[in-house]
Each structure stands twice: as C-alpha cells, then as structure tokens.
C-alpha cells in the first residue's frame, strides 16, 4: 500500500462495513435479474459470473479505482513492453512472447522476441511430431511407446496438468508419464511396467543442475541401460535445458536439447520447450491451438478496459475476498474430470508468485497477500470437504469452473454434473433458513419435537461467496485461455499488493540446507553443528534404519 492508494483501501473498508451484515438474498432481491447482468463479463464463449460474491456496484467501482491507483495498467504495459519488472533478478517477464505472433511486437534486448521463440518452437514441435509418427525412433528403429518427463515445480506441474487435461487429443501419440519426487518410489512406480527400449526420457531443467531432477535422470538412464547399450541408451534421451555442456556430458546430442530463456519463469513455462511432453501427447497442431488460447487471453488482458477485463475483474474479486473479507483460502473447483490437476497447477502459480511479505521496495507489506489455493474436481469434492464450505465456521470462497459441453459421450452424466455445478453456488449463496427447514420437515409428517431438534443441524446460513466460470468446449484452445486467465489474475494482484510475482527466493533456503544436511546422514558424521531437533531426528532415523 502506498499513500496514493490509502484512500482506496479506506473506501473498500467502508464498503465492507456497509455490506458485512447484508445477505446475498437481499442483494439479489434488490436487483433481481439485473444482478447477473451487472456482475458478469464475457469474452467470446467464456463468461465469468460474480453475482454470488458479496459485493455491490459501489464496492466494484472502488475496487476498479484501487486497481487504477495501484498502477495496474502501467505495470501491464511494462510487462508487455519487455521491461525488467522482475526487479530482484533484473529480468524481463515475457512468457506472453512464447505464445505470441510476430506481429505482436514483443522485444527482448532490442530485438524481436519472435527471432528467438519461433525457431525453438518449430524445433521442439517438429521433434514431437517426428516421435509421434515414427520418424524419430530408438537406435533399433522401433517407435517410442512411452515418454517419461523428469522435472519438478514448473517443469512438472504445468505439463502434468495439461497432458491430463488434453488426454482426449492424444490420438496415436505415446503414453506420457511424469516423475518429479526425489523419493525413488516415484520413478520406480512409473517405470515398473514400461519397456526401457521404447521409452523416451525428457530431462527438464533449465540449468541442468536441479538436484531432484538430475538425480532422477541418472537413475532413469541407469534403468535404460538395463536393456540398452550406452550409445543406444543415449538415443532415448532428450533435454529441456540451456546448459549444452552439461547435457552433452550426460550423453544427450545437441539436436535433442531444446532451450528457453531467463525471461520465462518456471511456473509460466508450459508454452516453451518445457511443454514438449504436452506436444508429444497431443501433437504439434494441437499444441499450436493451445498457444492460440493463451494468446487470445493475452490480447484481451492487454487491450480490454479494466471494467471489462476478465483477469482484472477476477483479481479484484480475489482482493475483496482476501483483504476486505479477510478470507485466507480459496477453493478452486473444476466440474471437469479432465481438469483434476488444474487446482494444483494454479496453487503453485498463485502461492509461489504472490506468497510474499516484502514489497518490491523491500518494505514489509501492509496487507495479506496470496491466499491458500486448493481443490479437487466436482462432484467428488461435494462428498468430502463441502460440509465445511457450507456449514463450517470459516468462510471459504469458491471458484467454480464448468465446460458447457461434455468431454465424454455420456450426456446424461454431464447433465447431472451441470445440475450439481449450479446447485452448489445457489446453496452457498442462499442457504436454507430455519423456517424453510421446519416447513419442509413438517410437510413430510415428522413430529414437531423431532423437527425442532433437527432444525439447527439442517439450517444453512448461506451468504457464502462464489464465482462461476463457464465456457463452451474443452479443447487445447480453451485450456490455454483458462490458464492465461489465472496467470494474469495473479499478476494484477501482485501489482496491487506491491510484490514481485516473478521471483521465488523462499524456495531456495530449504534446498541449500538439504545440501548441507545430506552428508551428515552418513554413519559417524559429525552432527555438532546442527540444532538439537535435527540431531535428535537424525539419531532417531539412523536407529530405525539399523
């Protein structure tokens, strides 16, 4: 918060003082059908409905004023212009250039970004198609049946999510698997039923030094060699990296090393060569459609006025929830089984980007930042934690996502899915009063004393906020657009909070300590430099192992 925004935050607090005791039933009664019109916004076939949020027109106008006063438009333009807005690492933030067209005019170091992006994109998409159609094979001329992508964080979560989400578009492509955890059980479980001779290993690490990834890659290469000679095993390797010396030392020919750039953050990298596993699964043409969806939202975010801008509006609702309503968590619930990993993907994007307590200027932030993001697909989630969302002591805002047309031929199931999607937002907003419960039970002939005993348990207070996102069809294009919607939402919130959304120094400390502790796990190691808790745990672990 700066002096220029203090009055806007004060105005929002005044809005909440006015609205905190107003029920959503009353907000809907006042505006009737106009409330959906007032609090929804569309881009092509995608509509976002904010009408079940605890806001009114005055609050929305003050949120938009906060965005303007915080410099959202200026910061957005700086990103698109290629300014080094990642100030702690002195880097541009140009993941939008990965899915842009030459005419978009993105520039890096004074030269067109397309001069870098297009040749590398063409290279990795050609490789993907060559693997899929059998042009590139193993050393014996056999087609690859499986791919294992070895990475972690941004080199894993985006591809995992996208491959699962777009599984309907696999066609004759290889089966794509993922290994991220340094726990050897992950690689063991993934590789157990695969044939090393027909498995392609992708090693995804920009620096080729990420300890979890390189350790797993070494183990995977040893697994290849259980069936293949050294040179033949190397033909089953490719890398997503910029460290050509390290990849060459690992045995990977430069023709199978695909790079990306420092101005691409890991959690924003699925559109780069990090997305090779996605391209191997769905093919180059579908991958280009995936990129087109990103670009459509990029262009919308860049040009739409703030009050019509989907990422901006979604971000402002998040600011209202987090900072005005003081809700520390958000449930992100896609009513689409194909999006079962989407919540985990957005979790990293949001919490790693904005989970900061220091501003760009190095001062402590004045407001709470990133909420905890979590969730699983509906309707499964309705039978686990929805009890707490409906009747728990904490208010948990929800983002619901629905694709209007089914991703399977089972139309009736999709009808039920849609009914549940609509019912949950209605139930959260309006609840069920004690009088409604009492009348319902009385009509069923339940004795009056039993009715009164059960009324408190069957009453739903409602007034619990949610946003609903709907779009037509689940395709590579629509997935790219949906991801970009949340990317830009996170960016806008980071600007308003004044934090750098593109570094992640908090990730590094544990890695450094782990490297220091690892040698101390050897028998007889000197533990005197460790804190008592670590010494005690190491002794306990060693005793259990022996």
Query: What CA–CA distance (Å, rounded) separates 53 from 112?
Result: 42
pLDDT band at 511 (very low <50, low <70, confident <90, very high): confident
- Estimate to the nearest angstrom the gap between the alpha carbon of 518 and the chain centroid: 31
* Fold of the 3-69+304-430+464-497 domain: Rossmann fold (3.40.50)
Query: What CA–CA distance (Å, rounded) separates 15 from 2?
Result: 20
pLDDT band at 140 (very low <50, low <70, confident <90, very high): very high
Q: What is the pLDDT of residues 366-400, one digit of tens each?
A: 999 999 999 999 999 999 999 999 999 999 999 99
Instruction: Supply the pLDDT for residue 363.
Output: 94
Q: What is the pLDDT of residues 337-354, one digit of tens each?
A: 999 999 999 999 999 999
Q: End-to-end alpha-carbon separation of the chain, Å?
A: 55
Lowest mean pLDDT among 19-33, 178-192, 235-249: 19-33
Q: What is the pLDDT of residues 514-543, one digit of tens each?
A: 889 999 999 889 999 999 999 999 999 999
Q: What is the pLDDT of residues 481-507, one digit of tens each?
A: 999 999 999 999 999 999 999 998 888
CATH architecture of 98-288: 3-Layer(aba) Sandwich (3.40)
**Cβ atoms 407, 474 nearer than 8 A:** yes
The strand pairing partners of 41, in sequence order, are: 48
Instruction: Supply the pLDDT for residue 2.
Output: 64
pLDDT reading at 10 higher than 60: yes
pLDDT reading at 174 higher than 80: yes
Active site residue ranges: 352, 383, 511
**Domain extent listing, the chain:** 3-69+304-430+464-497, 98-288, 509-545
The strand pairing partners of 54, in sequence order, are: none
Instruction: Supply the pLDDT for residue 98.
Output: 97
Instruction: Supply the pLDDT for residue 523.
Output: 87
Q: Is the torsion defined by CA of 502, 165, 118, 233 positive or negative?
A: positive
Same fold, 3-69+304-430+464-497 and 98-288: yes
Q: What is the pLDDT of residues 44-99, one digit of tens each?
A: 999 999 999 999 999 999 999 999 999 999 999 999 999 999 999 999 999 999 99
pLDDT band at 323 (very low <50, low <70, confident <90, very high): very high
Q: What is the pLDDT of residues 400-442, one digit of tens each?
A: 999 999 988 899 999 999 999 999 999 999 999 999 999 999 9
- Assign 3-class secondary structure to 366-407: CCCCCCEEECCCCCHHHHCCHHHHHHCCCCCCEEEEEECCCC
pLDDT band at 508 (very low <50, low <70, confident <90, very high): confident
Assess whether the previous peptide bond of 182 is cis (omega < 30° from 0). Answer: no
CA nearest 462: which of 381, 526, 398?
Answer: 398
pLDDT reading at 137 higher than 70: yes
**Cβ atoms 486, 339 nearer than 8 A:** no
Determine the angle formed by the axes of helices 476-497 and 157-165, rounding to 10 degrees.
140
Instruction: Supply the pLDDT for residue 399.
Output: 98
Instruction: Supply the pLDDT for residue 178.
Output: 98
Q: What is the mean pLDDT of the chain?
A: 95
User: What is the longest distance spanned by two Cα atoms in the chain?
Assistant: 82
DSSP 328: -
pLDDT reading at 477 higher than 80: yes
505, with CB counted inside 10 A (0-12, 13-18, 19+), is: exposed
Q: What is the pLDDT of residues 300-317, one digit of tens each?
A: 999 999 999 999 999 999
- Assign 3-class secondary structure to 76-118: HHHHHCCCCCECCCCECCCHHHHCCCHHHCCEECCEECHHHHH
């Amino acid at each position: 918060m700066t002096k220029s925004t203090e009055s806007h935050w004060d105005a929002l607090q005044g809005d909440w003082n006015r609205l905190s005791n107003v029920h959503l039933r009353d907000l809907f009664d006042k505006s009737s059908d106009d409330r959906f019109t007032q609090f929804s916004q569309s881009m092509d076939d995608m509509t976002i409905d904010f009408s079940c949020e605890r806001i009114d027109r005055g609050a929305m106008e003050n949120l938009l004023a906060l965005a303007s006063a915080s410099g959202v438009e200026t910061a957005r333009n700086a990103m698109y212009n290629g300014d080094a807005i990642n100030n702690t690492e002195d880097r541009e933030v140009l993941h939008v250039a990965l899915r842009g067209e030459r005419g978009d005019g993105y520039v890096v170091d004074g030269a067109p970004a397309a001069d870098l992006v297009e040749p590398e994109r063409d290279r990795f998409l050609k490789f993907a198609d060559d693997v899929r159609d059998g042009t590139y094979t193993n050393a014996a001329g056999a087609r690859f049946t499986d791919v294992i992508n070895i990475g972690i964080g941004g080199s894993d979560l985006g591809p995992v999510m996208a491959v699962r989400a777009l599984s309907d578009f696999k066609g004759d492509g290889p089966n794509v698997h993922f290994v991220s955890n340094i726990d050897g059980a992950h690689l063991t479980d993934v590789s157990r039923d695969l044939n090393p001779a027909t498995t392609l290993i992708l090693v995804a690490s920009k620096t080729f030094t990420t300890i979890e990834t390189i350790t797993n890659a070494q183990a995977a290469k040893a697994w290849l060699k259980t069936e293949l000679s050294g040179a033949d095993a190397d033909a089953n390797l490719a890398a997503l990296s910029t460290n050509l010396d390290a990849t060459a030392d690992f045995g990977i020919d430069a023709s199978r090393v695909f790079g990306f750039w420092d101005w691409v953050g890991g959690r924003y990298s699925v559109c780069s060569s990090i997305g090779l596993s996605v391209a191997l699964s769905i093919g180059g043409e579908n991958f280009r459609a995936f990129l087109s969806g990103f670009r459509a939202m990029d262009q919308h975010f860049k040009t739409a006025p703030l009050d019509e801008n989907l990422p901006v509006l979604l971000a402002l609702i998040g600011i209202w929830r987090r900072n005005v309503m003081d809700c520390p968590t958000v449930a992100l619930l896609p009513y689409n089984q194909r999006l079962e990993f989407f919540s985990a993907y957005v979790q990293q994007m949001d919490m790693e980007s904005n989970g900061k307590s220091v501003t760009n200027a190095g001062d402590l932030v004045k407001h709470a930042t990133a909420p905890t993001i979590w969730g699983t697909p509906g309707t499964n989630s309705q039978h686990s934690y929805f009890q707490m969302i409906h009747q728990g002591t904490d208010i948990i805002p929800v983002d619901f996502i629905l694709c209007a047309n089914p991703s399977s031929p089972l139309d009736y199931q999709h009808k039920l899915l849609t009914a549940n999607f609509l019912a949950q937002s209605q139930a959260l907003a309006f609840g069920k009063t004690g009088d409604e419960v009492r009348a319902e039970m009385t009509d069923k002939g339940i004795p009056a004393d039993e009715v009164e005993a059960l009324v408190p348990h069957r009453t739903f207070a409602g007034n619990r906020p949610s946003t609903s996102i709907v779009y037509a069809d689940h395709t590579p294009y629509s997935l790219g657009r949906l991801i970009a919607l949340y990317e830009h939402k996170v960016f806008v919130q980071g600007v308003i909070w004044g934090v750098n959304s593109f570094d992640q120094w908090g990730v590094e400390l544990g890695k450094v300590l782990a490297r220091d502790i690892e040698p101390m796990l050897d028998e007889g190691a000197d533990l005197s430099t460790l804190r008592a808790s670590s010494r005690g745990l190491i002794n306990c672990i060693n005793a259990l192992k022996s």
